[in-house]
Amino acid sequence: MSSADQPPTERSSDSVEPGLSTSLAERYSNAMGRFVHGVELAAATVFAGLFAIGVVDLILQIFGAVQSGSITDPLVVIGFIDTGLLLLIIVEVYQTVLAYVEENDTRRIVQLVIYTGVIAMVRKVIIFRTSEYPTLEDAVFAAGSYAIIIFALVGLLFAERVYGNGSTLLSD
């Protein structure tokens, strides 16, 4: 049998190189995917820990305010609300990280990001004090910026509900 009559071997340089590079690329991609997944889990753990620490801190702040009698001070209560909303933001960021870890659809992740933004802006509005700005013009500029961001987030929520596929997080 001549070499022309023999079937091609798998050892030709054309067939080995693509197979090896694909295999190497797949192995590298899988390794990086596992690494990113591990980092996502670590981030979720950090946010869960921050939330737990924040809840304990809020409880200690409330007990301290009750003992000192400052619990009736509106600024102290606003401080508690600020801390509570910050904790909700941490929970929303945790949920977003979990959505990435669980490889949820992009729509769910976008919803979580929008909800986080809404909570963050509500927090900013609640703790807004004109006295924290050097001039009244700076305070008005900041308030206007907050309003624009809030309207944009509400618009995104509205668009998501109207043009989305019909299911919402609240119905899930």
Q: Has residue 58 been placed in a domain? A: yes
Any domain includes 3: no
Residue numbers of the domain that contains 136:
19-171
Angle between helices 74-101 and 13-68 (to 10 degrees): 160
Report residue 57 as tokens.
């801190």
Q: Is residue 87 part of a domain?
A: yes
> Measuring CA to CA, how many Å separate 8 from each of 11, 17, 18, 19, 20?
8, 16, 16, 16, 18
Angle at 105 (CA atoms; ends 103, 111), nearest 5 degrees = 115
5 within a domain of the structure (yes/no): no
Cβ-proximal residues to 140 (8 Å cutoff; 6+ apart), any chain? none
**Domain total of the chain:** 1
145 within some domain: yes
Is residue 7 domain-resident? no
Does any domain span residue 13? Answer: no
pTM: 0.66
In order along its 172 residues, the chain shows pLDDT tens digits of 444 455 444 444 444 455 455 688 888 988 998 998 899 899 999 999 999 999 999 999 999 999 999 999 988 998 999 899 899 999 988 988 888 888 777 777 888 888 888 888 888 888 888 888 999 999 999 999 999 999 998 898 888 888 876 555 444 4
Residues in the chain: 172
Residue 164 is assigned to a structural domain of this protein: yes
